């Protein structure tokens, strides 16, 4: 559930009360006015640049799974800059390594805000790391945009009005994957392996919305500090688990699948998007073994990464030209999709962007993004996506199977996925 607030998700309420947005804007400081009106220059804004920053693990235990995200975002911004930028401004993206260490996160984010004077923090990665700077950013009224974590902590607009999530949250993912398991194999024994923090807690919460309290036949937890899950996998095998839901990051998804294979056990795996990127998993498991072990692997996602999609074609082009030939993975699509959403918000903030102005643009309900379900942002909802699609791996290709679910309150509903067309070569205009 939301920390300190009741958890209620209303998928139908995707539009914002104009009166409420106006009231919020009226409560801002005189310099923080939205739109194109004249205003005092916002931090990080010049006539021809906007400077933003992020914290991310370029080194440390999470680097192998996530360090490529910020590079993909920067590649997208370089592409936009070559097209003339947003409202005549190029985007400068400062990336600082925090090693996935909350203490380091505090140091580098303070540097970004106080020394580099960034306009906003974009896509800070990790639940424990970003939690360490949540109060600081909101107390200093720094736009804290599109956090790279599925924790529901980011969706507390009254407590944290400057913070917005990006990922579909873990409750949504847990509920959707449990519903897919129920739809595909209603009599199967469903179990769960989860990280021993909010990731695992909220994923369990979502699964139990569908399966009922006690509906998970067996639950095991792991700590990222211990890269041995033999005991957990052995216990799940002994419990007769047939479908295993995974609240795991990529490294531990691969560890679970590989450990089970060593035990001669081959259940079905249903993973969160945070640990379900096929190319990354093959990188861990090896080109010979990975494709065999991951045949039929199921995961959730909310971004347009179908191999035949036009967003993938655009992002592959950008990756080839601006990202030094880096491998094209789900992280590439994720990083560029984050960059696109920021560019869209900046464009809608007007020719004279302010910090309050970009927040107003996000809560207006006018942003479209490029996901397969509509964005949920409003004055009352600071979560991006309240639904996910289901993907499977078949013969080395990971793609959506058509099943798409949204969480409306405590109810999972099946919906049709939506395709957002690429317009203006993928550079938002604010029109």
- With respect to residue 396, please indicate whether it lies within any of the assigned structural domains: no
Residue 401, helix vs strand vs coil: strand
Considering just the CA atoms, what is the radius of gyration of the chain in Å?
A: 21
Which CATH number covers residue 51? 3.40.50.2300
343 close to 100: Cβ distance less than 8 angstroms: no
Instruction: Judge whether residue 16 has pLDDT over 70.
Output: no
- Are 178 and 248 in a shared domain? yes
User: What is the rounded average pLDDT of the residues 192-221?
Assistant: 96
- Are 163 and 175 in a shared domain? no
Instruction: Judge whether residue 425 has pLDDT over 90.
Output: yes
- Which of these three, 301, 324, 358, is where a domain ends? 301
- Are 180 and 158 in a shared domain? no
- With respect to residue 429, please indicate whether it lies within any of the assigned structural domains: no
Instruction: Judge whether residue 341 has pLDDT over 70.
Output: yes
- With respect to residue 391, please indicate whether it lies within any of the assigned structural domains: no
- Are 162 and 181 in a shared domain? no
In the prediction, which pLDDT does 40 show? 53
Q: Which residue has the higher pLDDT, 279 or 24?
A: 279
User: What is the rounded average pLDDT of the residues 106-116?
Assistant: 98
- With respect to residue 399, please indicate whether it lies within any of the assigned structural domains: no
- Are 221 and 278 in a shared domain? yes
Burial class (CB in 10 A: 0-12, 13-18, 19+), 421: exposed
In the prediction, which pLDDT does 27 show? 41
- Which of these three, 301, 332, 359, is where a domain ends? 301
- With respect to residue 32, please indicate whether it lies within any of the assigned structural domains: yes
Tell me the per-residue pLDDT of 300-323, one tens digit each, with 9 for 90 and over. Answer: 999 998 888 999 999 999 999 999
- Are 153 and 187 in a shared domain? no
- With respect to residue 133, please indicate whether it lies within any of the assigned structural domains: yes
What does the alpha-carbon distance between residue 5 and residue 158 come to, in Å, rounded to a whole number? Answer: 9
What does the alpha-carbon distance between residue 410 and residue 172 come to, in Å, rounded to a whole number? Answer: 10
348 close to 364: Cβ distance less than 8 angstroms: yes
Instruction: Judge whether residue 57 has pLDDT over 60.
Output: yes
- Are 66 and 215 in a shared domain? no
Distances (CA, A) of 94 to 116, 124, 320, 426: 9, 12, 21, 22
- H-type helices in 288-376, by residue range? 290-293, 310-322, 330-348, 355-363
- Are 175 and 220 in a shared domain? yes
Backbone angles phi, psi at 244, to 5 degrees: -110, 115
Task: Write down the mean pLDDT value for the chain.
Answer: 91
- With respect to residue 275, please indicate whether it lies within any of the assigned structural domains: yes
What does the alpha-carbon distance between residue 57 and residue 98 come to, in Å, rounded to a whole number? Answer: 5
- Other C-beta atoms lying within 10 Å of the C-beta of residue 18: 11
Partners of 145 in the β-ladder: 122
| Window from 155-164, 219-228, 229-238 with minimum mean pLDDT | 219-228
E strands, 79-206, in order: 90-97, 121-122, 144-147, 163-165, 190-195
Reduced DSSP (H G I as helix, E B as strand, rest coil) percent helix, strand, coil of the chain, to 5: 40, 20, 45
Instruction: Judge whether residue 24 has pLDDT over 70.
Output: no
- Are 22 and 120 in a shared domain? yes
- Which of these three, 275, 301, 327, is where a domain ends? 301
Report how far Cα 378 is from the mean position of its chain's Cα atoms. 17
Q: How confident is the model at residue 101 (pLDDT cuts 50, 70, 90)?
A: very high
The tally of domains found in the chain comes to: 2
- With respect to residue 393, please indicate whether it lies within any of the assigned structural domains: no
Going by C-alpha positions, the residue among 131, 117, 45, 127 that lies closest to residue 357 is 45
Going by C-alpha positions, the residue among 114, 167, 169, 165 that lies closest to residue 137 is 114
Which region holds residue 91: left if phi is over 0, alpha if psi is between -120 and 50, else beta? beta
Tokens 């990080």 -> residue: 44
- Are 330 and 210 in a shared domain? no
- Are 160 and 213 in a shared domain? no
User: What is the rounded average pLDDT of the residues 248-260?
Assistant: 95
In the prediction, which pLDDT does 6 show? 35
In the prediction, which pLDDT does 360 show? 98
> What residues contact residue 411 under an 8 Å CB cut-off, 6+ apart?
none
User: What is the rounded average pLDDT of the residues 30-49?
Assistant: 63
For residue 186, the enclosing domain spans 171-301
- Are 284 and 370 in a shared domain? no
- Sign of the dihedral defined by the CA atoms of residues 399, 373, 82, 147, in that order: negative
Element (H, E) at 389: strand 387-394
In the prediction, which pLDDT does 201 show? 96
Q: How many residues does the chain have?
A: 431
Tell me the per-residue pLDDT of 390-417, one tens digit each, with 9 for 90 and over. Answer: 999 999 999 999 999 999 999 999 999 9
273 close to 388: Cβ distance less than 8 angstroms: yes
User: What is the rounded average pLDDT of the residues 282-288?
Assistant: 95
170: Cα within 13 Å, side-chain hemisphere: 29
What does the alpha-carbon distance between residue 246 and residue 231 come to, in Å, rounded to a whole number? Answer: 16
Going by C-alpha positions, the residue among 120, 35, 17, 123 that lies closest to residue 363 is 17
């Amino acid at each position: 559930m939301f920390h300190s607030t009741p958890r209620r998700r209303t998928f139908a309420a995707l539009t914002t009360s104009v009166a409420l947005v106006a009231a919020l804007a009226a409560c801002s400081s005189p310099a923080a006015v939205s739109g194109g009106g004249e205003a005092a220059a916002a931090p990080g804004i010049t006539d021809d640049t906007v400077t933003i920053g992020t914290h991310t693990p370029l080194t440390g235990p999470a680097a192998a799974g996530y360090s490529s995200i910020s590079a993909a975002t920067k590649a997208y911004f370089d592409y936009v800059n070559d097209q003339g930028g947003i409202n005549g401004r190029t985007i400068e993206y400062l990336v600082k390594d925090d090693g996935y260490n909350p203490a380091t996160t505090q140091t580098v984010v303070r540097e970004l805000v106080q020394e580099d004077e960034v306009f906003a923090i974009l896509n800070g990665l990790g639940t424990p790391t970003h939690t360490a700077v949540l109060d600081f950013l909101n107390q200093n009224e720094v736009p804290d945009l599109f956090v790279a974590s599925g924790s529901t902590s980011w969706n507390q607009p009254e407590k944290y009005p400057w913070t917005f999530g990006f990922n579909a949250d873990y409750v949504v993912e847990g509920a959707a994957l449990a519903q897919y398991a129920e739809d595909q194999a209603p009599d199967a024994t469903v179990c769960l392996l989860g990280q021993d923090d909010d990731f695992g807690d909220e994923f369990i919460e979502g699964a139990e919305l569908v399966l009922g309290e006690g509906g998970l036949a067996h639950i095991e937890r792991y700590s990222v500090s211990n890269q041995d899950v033999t005991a957990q996998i052995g216990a799940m095998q002994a419990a007769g688990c047939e479908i295993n839901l995974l609240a795991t990051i990529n490294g531990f998804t691969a560890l679970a699948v590989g450990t089970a294979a060593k035990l001669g056990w081959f259940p079905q795996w249903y993973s969160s998007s945070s640990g379900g990127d096929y190319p990354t998993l093959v990188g861990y498991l090896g080109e010979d073994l990975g494709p065999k072990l991951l045949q039929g692997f199921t995961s959730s996602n909310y971004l347009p990464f179908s191999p035949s999609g036009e967003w993938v074609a655009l992002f592959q082009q950008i990756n080839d030209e601006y990202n030094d030939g880096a491998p094209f993975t789900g992280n590439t699509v994720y990083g560029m999709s984050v960059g696109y959403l920021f560019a869209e918000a900046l464009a809608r903030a007007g020719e004279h962007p302010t910090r309050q102005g970009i927040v107003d643009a996000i809560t207006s309900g006018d942003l479209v993004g490029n996901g397969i379900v509509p964005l949920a942002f409003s004055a009352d909802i600071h979560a991006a996506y309240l639904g996910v699609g289901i993907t499977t791996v078949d013969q080395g290709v990971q793609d959506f199977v058509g099943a798409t679910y949204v969480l409306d309150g405590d109810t999972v509903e099946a919906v049709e996925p939506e395709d957002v067309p690429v317009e203006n070569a993928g550079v938002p205009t604010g029109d």
